[in-house]
Amino acid sequence: MKDILSENLRNVALVGHGHSGKTTLVSALLYNTKMVNRLGKVDQGNTVTDFDEEEIARKISIQASLAYAYKDKFKINLLDTPGFANFVWETMVALQAVETGVMVISAQDGVQVQTEKIFDGMAEMGKPLLFVVNKMGKELVDFDKVFESLVASFGKNVVAVQVPIGQGPEFSGLVDIIDMKAYQFGSDDKNESKEIPIPEALKDEVGLRREALLEKIAENDEKLMEKYFAAGILTPEEICAGLKNALIQRNIFPVLVSDALGNHGVQQLLDFVVAYCPAPIEVPAAVARNGSPVKTGKAAPFAGLVFKTISDPFTGKISLVRVVSGTFKPDTFYYNSNKEVEERVAGLFLLQGKAQEPAGEVQAGDIAVVAKLKETQTGDTLSTKAEKVLLPAITFPAPSISFAIEPKARGDEGKISNALQRIMEEDPTIKMLRDPQTKELVISGNGQLHVELVVNKLKRKYGVEVMMKAPKIAFRETVLGKSDVEKKYKKQSGGRGQYGHVLIRMEPLRGGDFEFVNALTGMSIPRNFVPAIEKGIIEAKNTGVLAGYPVVGFKVELYDGSHHEVDSSDMAFKMAASMAFKLAMKAAKPTILEPVMKVEVVIPEEFMGEINGNLSGRRGKIQGMEIKGKNHVVKAMVPMSEMLDFEPTLTSITGGRGSFFMEFSHYEDVPGHLQKKIIDEAVKEGRVKEEEE
């Protein structure tokens, strides 16, 4: 490994909607820096960053993958991220490990749903962003229209720094507006472009776009503004420094052009990344959870964020660590500030797709890979034991859909559980639970495709075949009213008995999950039994009284009870609390809640009426509509249970021209007539009894 200084590091994530060409562009970047000896192509299944069998088969990125390239004295870490709704959480997490996002836009499709979602996420993070209009060599592309759609969607900070020479099959070069130089691409994929005069036909356009660029740069700096509006010129040094500063502050979103499949514009993108994307030391320092800035620099104490985990049955678990400060050294013990344990870091590696290369020591700002950490998971902070730095937590989306699974072969139950534990190490958005009523093993994820891929991975990586049953909607139960109940648990069957007696009040807790309040005033219940009572409530709330679903949004107050000097025990009070919870819930107007999804459907205008009617028929509430380029976007809130078959319906209605995005929004009451169906189904499945004790 080369010894790279922090100021010579560039960390970028290639982000954007699916099929915009991110993976191919990463391959071209690696090819141009001679990190690989051929131009990898998704259709041929030989790219560096789409190495998973499912990714190769489906020709889409499913997970964020790391690669790196050297250019002169610089090292560029490249994170290739997914662009489809089920996996965009990986993109959002990957962005926390880089300084800059490279938003790849398909010249054929323009701004799409995920483009906007990722842009909004980056705005919340305050990350610098540049656009690359890719696939410029495809038929029927129009750079001006794509540029206008970027401005319409993301504002006047979108400024072109390159314009294409020719479009579609005639895309033969580009003009660099910053340096006022034109380049003609070579005839093969080696991209040996040569400098040429700026074509006459483009001089007026280039002049106007350069004026817009310089005005934007000047607007970001008072001194530059005074000089520019007085003299009308800026020096090359002022332009370079001003553009970089404006990019860091998100006051400029530069637009570049490329055709990654033909390896055109890639060298110019590399030059731009090195010249203008910030190094780790050029952005504000990270802030720990306690609000203190994390010390930076090579000599500072080490701190690093584990932003991704890869688990494999053969190679074991590897953790991807963004070094936030200090120097990351092999053969060293580090402190996991989340788990409060020490972990031994044996060797450090760089990751080129799936290939590992020894790294030696790794400096602040770089990304390294560690194998076989025992306790560490995605989102954890590694630090020195003296400093115990705790970096901000990574938030993961709540699962939106669940399926029951069972093994095809008897005796594989244990294998399934172990394999799913490994998969969940990689993907924290996958959840697994054993239904306490039906005893079914239920896995939850961010969509049907997400769960199907887990099932495929169980077979392919862990040799376990399972059957998926109908989706399980993650219903919840809550209470609408108040109740005050008493329950005595008394059992005598020879010898020492069991005695626990509690009085509790229950009421709704809007906007919260659960709250337990100890309101005991005397010594009617010894204080050492209170934890057992709380535990009884916690365990009981996993199974509601209506349909056996977990209970949320309630407050329980323990205010009285009694005990027996000999027969009272933790178990007796736990049982009394559990039974009291059931009574209290029944008396407090219980109701069933269902997950409601925020849905955005992108369709051509001619399908608006039919789609609106379809969503309304699914109990959807239309929130609004807007025009995005040649498409219309319908925004709605729709119950999850009504969206399970929407994908094939949308394909059928639009002939495959529509797409949709959905994410969990909130829970709300299920209408009464539908609650009866849910309860009847729960009785049929054995989740609850018709007249539960």
- pLDDT score at 693: 39
Provide φ and ψ at 149, rounded to 5°. -70, -35
User: Of 352, 394, 423, whose CA–CA distance to 92 is shortest?
Assistant: 394
Residue that has been written with the tokens 């990350």 in this structure: 127
Residue 635 · residue 623 · CB < 8 Å: yes
User: Of 29, 664, 684, 6, whose CA–CA distance to 325 is shortest?
Assistant: 6
- pLDDT score at 155: 94
C-alpha–C-alpha distance, residues 33 and 433, integer Å:
47
Q: How confident is the model at residue 627 (pLDDT cuts 50, 70, 90)?
A: confident
User: Using one digit for the tens of pLDDT, what is the confidence trace for 531-551?
Assistant: 999 999 999 999 999 999 999
Helix (H) or strand (E) holding 54: helix 53-58
- pLDDT score at 49: 93
Q: How confident is the model at residue 692 (pLDDT cuts 50, 70, 90)?
A: very low
Which two tokens mark 75? 């090292």
Amino acid (1-letter code) at residue 411? G
Q: Record the pTM.
A: 0.76
Contacts of 609 (CB under 8 A, 6+ apart): none
First vs last C-alpha separation in the chain:
68
User: Using one digit for the tens of pLDDT, what is the confidence trace for 168-181?
Assistant: 999 999 999 999 99
Q: Is residue 5's pLDDT more than 50?
A: yes
Q: Is residue 400's pLDDT more than 80?
A: no
- pLDDT score at 602: 87
Please compute the mean of the pLDDT values over residues 485-509 and round it to a whole number: 91
Helix (H) or strand (E) holding 227: helix 222-231
Amino acid (1-letter code) at residue 555? K
Give one DSSP letter per residue of 109-168, joined into a string. Answer: T-S-HHHHHHHHHHHHHT--EEEEEE-TTSTT--HHHHHHHHHHHH-TTEEESEEEES-G
Please compute the mean of the pLDDT values over residues 268-295 and round it to a whole number: 93
User: Using one digit for the tens of pLDDT, what is the confidence trace for 364-379?
Assistant: 999 999 999 999 999 9
Q: Is residue 449's pLDDT more than 90?
A: no
Which two tokens mark 314? 């053969």
User: Using one digit for the tens of pLDDT, what is the confidence trace for 298-323?
Assistant: 789 999 999 999 987 777 899 999 99
In percent, the amount of the chain with pLDDT more than 90 equals 70
Q: Is residue 493's pLDDT more than 80?
A: no
Please compute the mean of the pLDDT values over residues 392-402 and round it to a whole number: 81
In percent, the amount of the chain with pLDDT more than 70 equals 98
Q: 344 or 629, which is more confident? A: 344
Please compute the mean of the pLDDT values over residues 563-569 and round it to a whole number: 91
C-alpha–C-alpha distance, residues 257 and 236, integer Å:
22
C-alpha–C-alpha distance, residues 641 and 627, integer Å:
28
Please compute the mean of the pLDDT values over residues 663-691 and round it to a whole number: 87
CA 110 to chain centre: 22
Please state, rounded to an integer, the average pLDDT across all residues of the chain. 91
Amino acid (1-letter code) at residue 302? F
Residue 41 · residue 24 · CB < 8 Å: yes
- pLDDT score at 296: 79
C-alpha–C-alpha distance, residues 639 and 80, integer Å:
33
Q: Which domains occur in the chain, in start order?
A: 6-213+250-282 (3.40.50.300), 303-383 (2.40.30.10), 401-472 (3.30.70.870), 478-588 (3.30.230.10), 593-674 (3.30.70.240)
C-alpha–C-alpha distance, residues 638 and 649, integer Å:
15
- Strands of the sheet containing 74-80, edge to edge, are 65-71, 74-80, 9-15, 100-106, 129-134, 253-257, 158-160
Q: How confident is the model at residue 648 (pLDDT cuts 50, 70, 90)?
A: confident
Distance set, CA 40 to CA 43, 68, 78, 357 (Å): 9, 15, 15, 20
> Which of 125-139, 140-154, 288-302, 587-601 has the least mean pLDDT?
288-302
User: Using one digit for the tens of pLDDT, what is the confidence trace for 655-675?
Assistant: 767 878 788 889 999 999 999
The beta strands (E) that lie in 473-613 are given as 476-479, 483-491, 498-508, 514-518, 554-562, 590-604
C-alpha–C-alpha distance, residues 189 and 37, integer Å:
12
Please compute the mean of the pLDDT values over residues 74-98 and round it to a whole number: 93
C-alpha–C-alpha distance, residues 554 and 506, integer Å:
7
